[in-house]
Structure 1
Amino acid sequence: MPDNLKDRRILITGGARGLGLAFAESAAREGAAVAIADLRHEQAQAQAERLRAAGHQAWALPLDLADPDAIRRCAEDAVQRLGGLDGLVNNGAVTDSGGVSAAELDIECWDRVMAVNVRGVWLMTMACSQALGASGRGAVVNLASDTALWGAPRLLAYAASKGAVIAMSRSLARELGPAGITVNAVAPGLTLGEATEQVAAKRHRHYVAQRALERPQTPDDVCGAVLFCLSDLSRFVTGQLLAVNGGFVMH
């Protein structure tokens, strides 16, 4: 879908690396102006500079999803830098509970995961909702995870947070629908990248073996679904969950 996002203004959280960076690069190639928001601000700045050097419109913004004030400032800065907002990709998240059993999981870890992965999505969506509604074509894409669909063990807080993101997407779709804003969730499987380098090789092999498409998943595999949800091709699609995992979970 060449130039399907031409002149769109899109804010992507957690955009300095991995999936978020892949979304930013793909959207920029299709003509969108992107704001890359991340706690790793220097890394986000380097990526934005690289995209601008390639002829794209890109800016970097600092963001701590655990800080409500930082979320508000980021949304305001994005609207100012981009001149409005047509799309929001809630990609930023933490996986602090990985490898820890439910019995071993501590409350501090649980609270941090929920603050970033759940509360952060809610607050960022609310902070951007006025600008998204004003655009007349606002779209929110929330990154969930297939761990919430198959019940991944030793990942309780993360899986629970992503299940909450799925449920929130449906409620937000109904609340924001009257403003013409679509809200959908995309649930990737285990994806190669910096965020999954600590995942045991055995688990990566298990994912590949159990997929209908027996190969590793890359960030590029998820981009099409996200760009579809941001584009006019999905203007009458809202409150939906799209699992992108090569058939590991068929939802």
Structure 2
Amino acid sequence: MHNAASGALAGRRVLVTGGARGLGAAFVAALGAAGARVVFGDLLHDEGRALAASLCEQGHDVSYVPLDLSQPQTITAFVDEGAKRLGGIDGLINNAAITYSGGKLATELSTETWDAVMNVNVRGTWLASIAALPHLRDSGRGAIVNIASDTALWGAPKLLAYVASKGAVISMTHSLAREFGAHGITVNAIAPGLTEVEATAYVPAERHEYYKQGRALTRAQVPDDVTGPVLFLLSDAARFVTGQLLPVNGGFVMN
């Protein structure tokens, strides 16, 4: 992890969904290093407990709570338990998502796959946001960062349900920013490119190479490339930034 952000979010109380591995784990570790107090949720119980234990050994205030975004009641329970452990919530990273539709044409998708992806990626983001709303409002400096994807910006093929869900997350970010702005809460989204984490191990090597060569910065994207922008959007430096989408992809897609 980069050390530049060390202490920048000291005492900030942050929830992270899908924090047991991949980008989520990178966010949790970076938040801990920046002085934040973190509760993260996931349905990967062994990985979640192991990560929390490891980060606590390093002196970070991090704990794990089981979470399954496909089950609405666990979302409310996760947020309530997180607020209880932290004594409130200042930030929420809506990171958890599933792909499922990878490698299949639109004509090959089942309605069950479509519904599963939408329930986790879209409905889960909505429910986590509204569950956290009272706590973020009470914080006085509440901030939500939604993790979208640049696939929704360039229309990645053979990934329709995921692309559609991330497009929805981007649109929801705009609408939630207007609704939550009345409570002083910022809501922004980032759109990472294809990042080298466990969850993208299934992606063919030629697709990874396609991304590398298509970027203005022609190299692989790693988790540390994404943590900095997320921490910025949670910080006081971004208090007047809301409703925005920030592509973080080395220039593969540009605004």
Q: 1:103 aligns to what SS in structure 2? A: helix
Matched, 1:11 2:15: yes
Partner of 2:70: 66
Partner of 1:83: 87
The percentage of aligned residue pairs carrying the same residue is 59
Q: 1:183 aligns to what SS in structure 2? A: strand
Cα distance, 1:55 vs structure 2:
0.5
Partner of 2:139: 135
Partner of 1:208: 212
Matched, 1:218 2:222: yes
Cα distance, 1:4 vs structure 2:
1.3
Matched, 1:159 2:181: no
**Residue type of the alignment partner of 2:184:** G
Q: 1:177 aligns to what SS in structure 2? A: helix
Matched, 1:247 2:251: yes
Partner of 1:172: 176
Cα distance, 1:2 vs structure 2:
3.4
CA separation in 2, counterparts of 1:42 and 1:83?
A: 26
Point out where structure 1 has 5 or more consecutive residues left out of the alignment: none
Partner of 2:29: 25
Cα distance, 1:11 vs structure 2:
0.4
Deviations 1:186-207 (A, max 9, x none): 0000000100000000000000
**Residue type of the alignment partner of 2:164:** A
Matched, 1:235 2:239: yes
Matched, 1:192 2:196: yes
CA separation in 2, counterparts of 1:36 and 1:179?
A: 24
CA separation in 2, counterparts of 1:213 and 1:18?
A: 22
Partner of 2:103: 99
CA separation in 2, counterparts of 1:96 and 1:249?
A: 23
Cα distance, 1:41 vs structure 2:
1.8
Q: 1:61 aligns to what SS in structure 2? A: strand
Partner of 1:146: 150
Partner of 1:115: 119
Partner of 1:44: 48
CA separation in 1, counterparts of 2:15 and 2:72?
A: 17
Cα distance, 1:42 vs structure 2:
2.0
Deviations 1:161-184 (A, max 9, x none): 000000000000000001110000
Give the alignment's TM-score, normalised by structure 2.
0.98
Cα distance, 1:236 vs structure 2:
0.1
Q: 1:113 aligns to what SS in structure 2? A: helix
CA RMSD of aligned residues (A): 0.6
Q: 2:149 aligns to what SS in structure 1? A: coil
Q: 1:214 aligns to what SS in structure 2? A: coil
Q: 2:82 aligns to what SS in structure 1? A: helix
CA separation in 2, counterparts of 1:150 and 1:225?
A: 21
CA separation in 2, counterparts of 1:95 and 1:192?
A: 15
Point out where structure 2 has 5 or more consecutive residues left out of the alignment: none
Q: 2:157 aligns to what SS in structure 1? A: coil
Cα distance, 1:117 vs structure 2:
0.2
CA separation in 1, counterparts of 2:133 and 2:199?
A: 28
**Residue type of the alignment partner of 1:232:** D
CA separation in 1, counterparts of 2:40 and 2:191?
A: 21
The number of equivalent residue pairs is 251
